Structure 1
């Protein structure tokens, strides 16, 4: 048997704690887009959803990443019909994911978007110097794909639901070395507010989640990211760095009926860093 990571063991213990009682997400169907490995924020959210009773569908980027995500899908109990390739830059792949969900489940309650990308030369340069193609690519992958997900999820969320996307404090304030992703994440948060307004009458809630800095695969693309983590640990009121478990638990709460009248806000899971940063 494969040894569990500390995060996986945390949620296995949690499942045992709630065993025998209906979890707050019991019977819910959740799609997770953006798990790259067992350190991904999206994986922390998927584990939390599963621990509280949800069934999981998930995607992987391509054949190269499948070897890293297949064991995670197995741990989450994701069947082959709902473990699907999804590169939002490849025409038809995102649509195929939602088509499979419609055929298999006939509904969807939770959809989580945790993908972002900018070409390295644009990400590491000044916003002033960002190329047009680089900016458009970053906006397409990191922002517009969430709007596309919302459109595809809407008809499946027949009884309402919750849509999540991952942002960062650099959307609100200038964070050194975050560069072009700052404007892109700002656009993502604004888009989420408009989606919340438009989909609210159907009982669909929308949240950008803004975690503090976490050492994920995506974070390695940000120049001097270790300095951001050090600053957050020193300045956050909690004096602690956030973990993927922390983000997962908060997101699971927002996905539950306990949070049915919370929508449209950017939810910070950062130990309070945004109030002093």
Structure 2
């Protein structure tokens, strides 16, 4: 599919989605959010895709925030609809995506950009990365899950400070805060993410999808994460991947998972 604001590349069963609005520092507008939704929706059913890496074009920014010019004159009702629509189409969709999603954060990840990175299953940052949720400096609050996901990742106190000061933290501080898993040199960022994706793909993608569901359940209101884990664990016994994985282990050979 052809897009105006994103690029796609599939290599070795890894889909790299690049947000490509460098003149706008890859800021998220409504069209880009819709295109990202379509790209992820297509990747969900594409058997050639096992892992998704999301990144930004250029050296300056992953995503420098939302495109403020689009909503500067919105009413309260329109603002609420903007947040609800964005969360449903992209941020919650990514967070609950059944295939692993890695955010390769290069440069600025601010506002909606950091919220997108936090929706991914984990994050790798380049040394020049800077992250923050500066929305209160505009008289608004994070609206794409930032007030929920940031405390889950860095703790309530640090999240309160980051959001209330509207300040940025650098890559090493983000690593200290557990906001990112790794910090690497910028030129190594995508290669490093691809290497991790390669390690992931050696395992059962069916089991990984079940694990994503179980882990996420612990952070959803009204859901018992332990119960979800038990159910997904039980379902695993009915998969071809389980039969292959156990047979390979017992026969001391490398598993060749069918993905079913």
TM-score (norm 2): 0.34
| Larger of the two Rg values belongs to structure | 2
Higher relative contact order (CA 8 A, sep 6+): 1
